[in-house]
Chains A and B, each alone.
Chain A
Amino acid sequence: MTLDPGLYNYWIVILLMMTGLYTVISRGNLVKKVIGLNVFQVSVIMFYVSMGKVEGGMAPILVEEAEAVYSNPLPSVLMLTAIVVGVATTAVALALAVRIHEAYGTLEEDEILEKEYGAAGPGAADGPVDDHEPG
């Protein structure tokens, strides 16, 4: 196989990162935002791990061979803990979402703002309010 990914990995990582960012910016649903953050997080982890790979290397678990080539263990260490910390912080975000839902009865950003500030709240200036919402 002579396929060489070159910089392809990094481009996909950037695509993922931007997808996550777009979700966080443009979606009003809080759980969707958390999902977007998760996508973003995975992309960062992927970026680090991609950099750690050495061509023809193997996982940094030492073997008896003298001439073995290993991939870089350092990104693994950093990202391993980052994943577990990531799920813990995701849990905090989700817990906040649950409490917000209990308080406002919705997870939609603009509805929460409406409940907080009334119909002409800070969200109203951003665009035309279309009240023909089905269901």
Chain B
Amino acid sequence: MTYFTVATLAILVSMAMLLVRAFKGETVYDRILAVNSFGTKTVLLIALMCFMTGRPDFIDLALVYALMNFISTIAVLRFTRYHDMLDDDDLRARRLSAPIAPAIEEELT
């Protein structure tokens, strides 16, 4: 049983740190990042709990979480007030006009 305990504690501590980041924010992207990572932690926590309660066939739940986490992250990015950003056409257009930090410019090409 011990490793379940160790993993659960690690996940809970990690969750707490992510929560702090989600509340502090700084930028809106930090929040999205924290929420996304928090979702992954929840998936793992659910998987662990399924094993702890001795019903490992409930892993379906973890799958739903993983799925919804992805979809909501994509939706959040789609609906930020800086919308349209996930489009490659848009990227090209912006690269011509908007000043982007050179370091990122390199990484994107």
Contacts and interface: CB of A to CB of B under 8 A. Distances in A.
B58 interface: yes
B54 interface: yes
Interface string A42-62: 000000000000000011010
Interface of A is mostly: strand
7 contacts: A58-B53, A58-B54, A58-B55, A59-B53, A59-B55, A59-B58, A61-B55
A61 B58 CA distance: 10
Interface of A: 58-59, 61
Interface string B42-71: 000000000001110010000000000000
Interface in B82-96: none
Nearest to B5: A1
A58 B55 CA distance: 8
7 A-B pairs closest in CB distance: A58-B53, A58-B55, A59-B55, A59-B58, A58-B54, A59-B53, A61-B55
Contacts of A59: 53, 55, 58
Contacts of B58: 59
A5 to B, nearest CB: 15
